[in-house]
Amino acid sequence: MGTWADKRRREEELFFVQQHEAPPSLPRGHVWFLVDAKWMERWWSYVTTPDCPAPGPIANEVLVEDGWQLRLNGDAPGHADKPLLALHLGTDYVCVTALVWCFLAELHGSSALPPLARYTKDIYGELVPMTSLEKIMKGPRLQAKVLATSFNQYASENTSPHARTCDKKAPTTGADRIWQVLALVPLELWTQLQFCTLLLTDMVIRARFGASQWQGSAWTTIWISVPTLFVQFILLTVGVLGANATAAGAPQVVGVWLQAALVFALVAAVPATLWYAYLADSLSWIAKDQATLATAQEFASTLAIGLWPQFAFTAIASVVASRGSTAPVIVAHVATWLLNALLNLVLVDGWYGVPALGVAGSAWATVTSQFVQWIVFTTWVVFVSSPSFNENWGGWTRECLCRLQTFIVTALSTSAVWTSTVPWLALVMVMSFAETTTSVASAAVQAIFLCLLQCGRLCAQGIVNVAFNATTKVRIAATVILVFGMGAHCAGVRFGGIPVYRYFWGPDVSSMMAFQSLQPAYCWAVGILTCSSTMQVWLLDRSDDAFFQRVGQIGATAVVYVPLAYVMSVQWQWGLGGLWWAVVCSELWVILALCWATVRGKICTHECEETRSLLPSTASTKPPSRDSPQFVSV
């Protein structure tokens, strides 16, 4: 290499690490990444001594007990990063921030052992769950990848990276930034958005064939949501298991986990199909209108055909996304939404010479789009991305059956499965309350509003995920998008909702009155949701995340929303309005829980750091000077 690459590059690397060190205590939501102290000594020699060799990949295996590969693959009990005994901070390991870890790993590589992450500078402290760790590392990993690429590029060009980073023209295009932002949205949100989008499209199309048609599809949408999405949330776990197998240096185990997920999808499709097939029997306990029940049964029976392709796509997409290829997954979702809208026009109205199926065409459009999504995406994975596929796929094996139980247990022990399912279960219960207090038509209007609110909530949650641990500029942009986006939606419903409703769902008097009565409460709910989401953009990374998930998210649904929906709508006889004022109260609960979680986050962080500083092992360790090789966040 040239002169700069041999000397200047090392100085730039040292400068970057020093400039991106964190204060002694991190805000809640940030975590420490532990690094072997001997590796850090080699790195220090490398960046300060011109002729010193590179330190090599970050290797933390010396800090954990033997057999971590078996624990990582699920072949042995326990966590892969179970530490050895008698390890001391500063002597055996040091702590760095997420960005520094990702930056060093991009430049020098890392071993098969996943990162050792803790909430405090204690290797024996609480472990960071894999799902939370992936969320925390998404932003720093993308930033480090761009920085490492520019470092290597400028090294070959014998120039300094600071000359380019100060340039007005960024090395990444606008399209690249969009993909990087969309990659921060969790896959479970894309899955739920697809479910809502496809079925809302069906409601709009079926409204042209009479009130009973769209009302039946509205009931079906809510009633089939829980079994469908619950199975999909379980299948998303295969991405985490596959990432663990890849990190452990066993890429073909990824294929075994995928096979276990596909087998589970096939088995789970059986009870889900039975639920679809006998939907009218379960609805008959609540809804009494026979025309609506018949429509719901016909709609659900057709949708059941697309269950397994839907499940299979979710499993495959989860594995692909875990490898960092999020763009194809996002394209597959958006393309399916557009294809479903086009197929509705083709099959319902008979465009391009296709025989018109009438009202039945809407359900067949959804099923067809799901089959096309599964076939095209699987074809792309097998043939277009064949190097990655061949690396992970070693052929069908019976070992997937042996891992099936571990897959199910791991999925059910993941909090994301339950936090994502509980809101949909609450919608089913609220719809039951709606039917006991009003007519079938009014309850169907309630279902439409619930689906719209759920779409808004998912979009807001996606923006919150993008802004998590982001810069101030990104948070300001997220706040602007939230406020203006939700405000435009609320204004559209409040002032333009009646003409739009009349155009799509007809001039039915009872449903029109129900729509008008729900408008004020719905707008209040959207407004409070916007306030809650905006506060999460600025406070969530400083809060006690586990407490907020339990109390703020699940608690708002199970403790506030569902009980108040019953009390206000049934006991107090507020009707459908009571259901929506319950939504307002639950969002206010989320705001209060977030404020308290933020206070807890600051208190817990300071207490943990203070407790850790009083331990004998660290009290006897002298704080390293800035010229020491262990100056990095010890």
pLDDT tops 50 at residue 427 = yes
Q: Would you call 64 helix, strand, or coil by DSSP?
A: strand
Provide the pLDDT for residue 174: 52
Average pLDDT over residues 546-554: 86
pLDDT classification of 505: cutoffs 50, 70, 90: low
Q: Would you call 58 helix, strand, or coil by DSSP?
A: strand
Provide the pLDDT for residue 585: 93
Place of tokens 């061949």: 390
Q: How far is CA 165 from the centre of its chain?
A: 31
pLDDT classification of 355: cutoffs 50, 70, 90: confident
Average pLDDT over residues 412-434: 86
Provide the pLDDT for residue 447: 83
Find the DSSP H helices in 323-397: 326-349, 360-379, 386-392
pLDDT classification of 629: cutoffs 50, 70, 90: very low
CA distance 622 to 598: 33
Find the DSSP H helices in 380-471: 386-392, 399-402, 404-412, 415-437, 440-467
- Which range among 18-32, 353-367, 465-479 shows the weakest confidence by mean pLDDT? 18-32
pLDDT classification of 143: cutoffs 50, 70, 90: confident
Please give the residue that has the higher pLDDT: either 152 or 67. 67
pLDDT tops 60 at residue 167 = no
- Convert the pLDDT of each residue in 229-247 to its tens digit: 999 999 999 988 888 777 6
The amino acid occupying position 382 is V
Average pLDDT over residues 291-319: 92
pLDDT tops 50 at residue 630 = no
Average pLDDT over residues 17-42: 78
Provide the pLDDT for residue 248: 65
CA distance 574 to 305: 39
Q: Give the residue from 239, 22, 30, 253 showing the smallest Cα distance to 130.
A: 239
pLDDT tops 80 at residue 598 = yes
Provide the pLDDT for residue 565: 92
- Which range among 208-212, 333-337, 591-595 shows the weakest confidence by mean pLDDT? 208-212
Average pLDDT over residues 575-604: 86
CA distance 164 to 368: 49
Average pLDDT over residues 201-207: 81
Strand 116-118 and strand 32-36: the pairing is antiparallel
Q: Would you call 266 helix, strand, or coil by DSSP?
A: helix
- Convert the pLDDT of each residue in 374-419 to its tens digit: 999 999 998 887 677 778 888 888 889 988 998 998 888 887 888 8
Whether this prediction's pTM lies above 0.85 is answered by: no
pLDDT classification of 506: cutoffs 50, 70, 90: low
Average pLDDT over residues 278-287: 84
pLDDT tops 70 at residue 602 = no
Provide the pLDDT for residue 416: 80
CA distance 245 to 73: 6
Provide the pLDDT for residue 154: 56
Provide the pLDDT for residue 353: 76
Where are the domains positioned within the chain?
3-174, 201-413, 429-634
Which H or E run includes 116? strand 116-118
Please give the residue that has the higher pLDDT: either 269 or 287. 269
| Largest separation between any pair of C-alpha atoms in the chain | 84
Provide the pLDDT for residue 633: 46
Provide the pLDDT for residue 29: 63
pLDDT tops 70 at residue 163 = no
Q: For the chain, how far is it from start to end, CA to CA, in angstroms?
A: 33
Provide the pLDDT for residue 27: 63
Could you tell me if 198 and 371 are in contact, meaning their C-beta atoms sit under 8 angstroms apart?
A: no
**How far is residue 60 from each of residues 47, 92, 102, 114, 500, measured CA to CA in Å?**
20, 10, 14, 9, 60
What mean pLDDT value characterizes the chain? 81
Provide the pLDDT for residue 179: 64
Q: What share of the chain in percent tops pLDDT 70?
A: 83
Q: What share of the chain in percent tops pLDDT 90?
A: 28
Tally of CB atoms within 10 A around 436 = 11
The amino acid occupying position 146 is V
CA distance 216 to 158: 68
The class that CATH gives domain 3-174 is: alpha beta
Q: What is the DSSP string of 180-223?
A: HHHTTS-HHHHHHHHHHHHHHHHHHHHGGG-HHHHHHHHHHHHH
Residue 503: strand pairing partners: none
The amino acid occupying position 333 is H
Joined together, the tokens standing for residue 511 give: 């449903």
Provide the pLDDT for residue 24: 61
CA distance 268 to 237: 15
pLDDT classification of 264: cutoffs 50, 70, 90: very high
Please give the residue that has the higher pLDDT: either 320 or 148. 320
- Convert the pLDDT of each residue in 105-138 to its tens digit: 888 888 878 889 988 888 888 888 776 787 788 7
